[in-house]
């Protein structure tokens, strides 16, 4: 695009149009170390995970960011620079980032707006500029910025997040800024203004189907879905609600908490995260995935719903007991419809065109079954297993 292309005529004058979005134009996709590795994260594991991401086709399906979560730090030296834990990162962060980039992947790194991270490592509060420059010099492409050991009030959070947002922008490097204050201060209202591209809506997701409330003891998949459902108006290209990582394939392993979910429940998380236009950050062991896990994470038709460039977050359009109907408008005029069964037993779920705001015939495709279901006039239905979801793409007949 030339400079001139970005000028639009408005009322006879030529004014600058909104600049193109440099990062997170669609929801970021990748892998994060926290659920699996916790404080045992190290460079060998990260490189092995990057290799597995490539070898199993996840990179080519869109999973680009390898995010190094908390406890990579060794400390802060006398000149004020953060450094990694030497035994676990003997070659340093730049060398590790080079390895990850050499695999055509991108690098994410965790830091915290307070004085210490949630795991107790040095925080970046008051060191924003020096840390942002350091991250950029290492080649970091994504910063997850947590909020432990930081003042509880919203103005302080806005100030601290803006300080890092500005410091990252000042490096000139395109860096996704991922805000993680768990939705406590309604970040959907201010995080984009602080430079954020994604913001957590809720407390940490653990490897379980459902929990009673949004609580820092850990949330289930349905809990974070419900916390994020009302926030569709705040999402769009460059700004996404984040209901936390995918637990798909974790199987109770690692240290996220939770005993694990069934393959069907994991598929439902993938379905709903795609309808929510949520970041798709896997957290299972990419070196040892079952066929079901791989199929769930790499279903390109489902991922296309998440990555659709219109950037609309889907909404719940109808609910009756355990049966829910969700809809996400797509760039080409299609609608992705989710039929979610929260109950334990199979149920038939029917979506009427009236509840979807549609009229006229639609071509229907089942995106999990990769099957065309033909032309339909006014409603579709599916028999959906317990804790299951179907995703149908309804395309106008040309």
Active site residues: 146, 204
Nearer to ligand GLA among residue 206 and residue 277 (C-beta) = 206
Nearer to ligand GLA among residue 69 and residue 207 (C-beta) = 69
Of 114-122, 293-301, 325-333, 389-397: span binding ligand GLA (CB under 6 A): 114-122
Compute the least distance from the CB of residue 191 to ligand GLA, in Å: 15
Give the dihedral sign, CA 56/264/204/391: positive
Count of residues that bind ligand GLA according to CB under 6 A:
10
Pairing state of beta strands 82-84 and 73-76? antiparallel
Best CA proximity match to 220, nearest among 233, 212, 210, 228:
210
**What is the end-to-end Cα distance of the chain in Å, rounded?**
32
Of 50-58, 111-119, 288-296, 306-314: span binding ligand GLA (CB under 6 A): 111-119
Compute the least distance from the CB of residue 296 to ligand GLA, in Å: 21
Give the dihedral sign, CA 157/163/164/169: positive
Compute the least distance from the CB of residue 86 to ligand GLA, in Å: 20
Among 43, 99, 131, 204, binds ligand GLA (CB under 6 A): 204
Among 31, 34, 138, 353, binds ligand GLA (CB under 6 A): 34
Q: How far apart are CA 53 and CA 30, in angstroms?
A: 9
Best CA proximity match to 76, nearest among 131, 132, 145, 119:
131
Compute the least distance from the CB of residue 125 to ligand GLA, in Å: 15
Among 99, 146, 285, 324, binds ligand GLA (CB under 6 A): 146
Name every residue whose Cβ is closer than 8 Å to that of residue 166 and which is 6 or more positions away in sequence.
128, 195
DSSP annotation of 115 reads S
Q: What angle do CA 73, 76, 77 make, to 5 degrees?
A: 130
Task: Report whether 125 contacts 147 (CB < 8 A).
Answer: no
Establish if 150 lies at the interface with ligand GLA (CB under 6 A).
Answer: no
Best CA proximity match to 304, nearest among 233, 374, 368:
368
Pairing state of beta strands 106-112 and 82-84? unpaired
Compute the least distance from the CB of residue 74 to ligand GLA, in Å: 16
Name every residue whose Cβ is closer than 8 Å to that of residue 169 and which is 6 or more positions away in sequence.
195
Compute the least distance from the CB of residue 138 to ligand GLA, in Å: 19
* Local structure of 8: helix, strand or coil: strand
- Restricted to residues 244-303, the positions that interact with ligand GLA (CB under 6 A) are none
Among 180, 297, 389, 394, binds ligand GLA (CB under 6 A): 180
The binding track of 328-347 with respect to ligand GLA, each residue x by CB under 6 A or -, is: --------------------
Establish if 181 lies at the interface with ligand GLA (CB under 6 A).
Answer: no
* Local structure of 15: helix, strand or coil: strand
- Restricted to residues 67-96, the positions that interact with ligand GLA (CB under 6 A) are 69-70
Among 50, 68, 118, 163, binds ligand GLA (CB under 6 A): 118
Give Cα 174 to chain centroid, integer Å.
18
Of 110-118, 265-273, 274-282, 358-366: span binding ligand GLA (CB under 6 A): 110-118
Compute the least distance from the CB of residue 252 to ligand GLA, in Å: 18
CA dihedral 255, 211, 251, 342 (to 10 degrees): -160
Establish if 119 lies at the interface with ligand GLA (CB under 6 A).
Answer: yes
Give the dihedral sign, CA 86/89/91/95: negative
Interacting residue ranges for ligand GLA, rule: CB under 6 A: 34, 69-70, 110, 117-119, 146, 180, 204
């Amino acid at each position: 695009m030339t400079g001139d292309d970005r000028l639009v005529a408005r009322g006879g004058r030529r004014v600058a149009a909104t600049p193109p979005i440099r990062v997170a134009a669609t929801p970021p996709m990748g892998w994060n170390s926290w659920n699996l590795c916790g404080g045992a994260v190290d460079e060998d594991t990260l490189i092995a995970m990057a290799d597995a991401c490539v070898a199993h086709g996840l990179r080519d399906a869109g999973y680009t960011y390898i995010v190094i979560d908390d406890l990579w730090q060794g400390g802060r030296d006398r000149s004020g620079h953060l450094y990694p834990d030497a035994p676990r990162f003997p070659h340093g962060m730049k060398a590790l980032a080079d390895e990850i980039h050499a695999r055509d992947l991108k690098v994410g790194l965790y830091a915290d707006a307070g004085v210490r991270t949630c795991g107790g490592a040095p925080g970046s509060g008051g060191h924003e500029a020096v840390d942002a420059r350091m991250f950029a010099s290492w080649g970091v492409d994504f910063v997850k910025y947590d909020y432990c050991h930081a003042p509880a009030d919203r103005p302080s959070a806005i100030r601290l997040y803006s300080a890092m947002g500005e410091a990252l922008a000042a490096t000139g490097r395109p860096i996704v800024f991922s805000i993680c204050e768990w939705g406590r201060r309604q970040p959907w209202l201010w995080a984009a203004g602080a430079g954020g591209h994604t913001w957590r809506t809720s407390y940490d997701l653990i490897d379980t189907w459902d929990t009673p409330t949004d609580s820092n003891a850990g949330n289930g998949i349905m809990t974070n879905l419900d916390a994020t459902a009302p926030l569709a108006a705040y999402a769009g290209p460059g700004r996404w609600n984040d209901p936390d990582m995918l637990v798909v394939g974790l199987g109770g392993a690692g240290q996220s908490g939770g005993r694990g979910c069934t393959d069907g429940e994991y598929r439902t998380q993938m379905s709903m995260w795609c309808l929510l236009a949520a970041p798709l950050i896997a957290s299972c062991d990419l070196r040892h995935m079952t066929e079901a896990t791989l199929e769930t994470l790499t279903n390109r038709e489902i991922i296309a719903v998440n990555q659709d460039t219109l950037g609309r977050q889907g909404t719940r359009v109808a609910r009756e007991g355990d049966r829910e109907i969700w809809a996400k408008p797509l760039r080409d005029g299609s609608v992705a419809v989710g039929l979610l069964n929260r109950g334990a037993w199979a149920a038939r779920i029917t979506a009427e065109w009236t509840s979807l705001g549609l009229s006229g015939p639609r071509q229907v495709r089942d995106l999990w079954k990769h099957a065309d279901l033909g032309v339909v006039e006014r409603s579709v239905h599916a028999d959906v297993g317990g804790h299951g979801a179907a995703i149908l793409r309804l395309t106008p007949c040309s």
